[in-house]
Amino acid sequence: MDAKPCTEPEEDSFGVDLDRLRANLRLTPEERVRRIEAASNELLKFLHEVAESRRRNARTDAR
């Protein structure tokens, strides 16, 4: 299997990755919403875990 060489993404004058933009535009609106919801849920999960870790550390430090 031949690997494709890494190339710089095609960008517009503002630095927007046009390949990524085109890929997102190929998605239906429903698919875009599902992706945004999944990313949002992952971010919320991460923030919750950070907060829990800080609470645990604060309890440990207070001892």
Q: Provide the pLDDT for residue 61.
A: 78
The domain spans of the chain are 18-62
**In the predicted model, is pLDDT for residue 7 greater than 80?**
no
**Arithmetic mean of pLDDT over the chain:** 90
Q: Provide the pLDDT for residue 2.
A: 62
Q: Which value, in Å, is the radius of gyration of the alpha carbons in the chain?
A: 20
Q: Provide the pLDDT for residue 49.
A: 98
Q: Where are the alpha helices (DSSP H) in 1-28?
A: 18-26
pLDDT tens digit string along 33-50?
A: 999 999 999 999 999 999
Give the Cβ contact number of residue 1 at 10 Å: 2
Q: Provide the pLDDT for residue 59.
A: 86
- pTM for this entry: 0.63
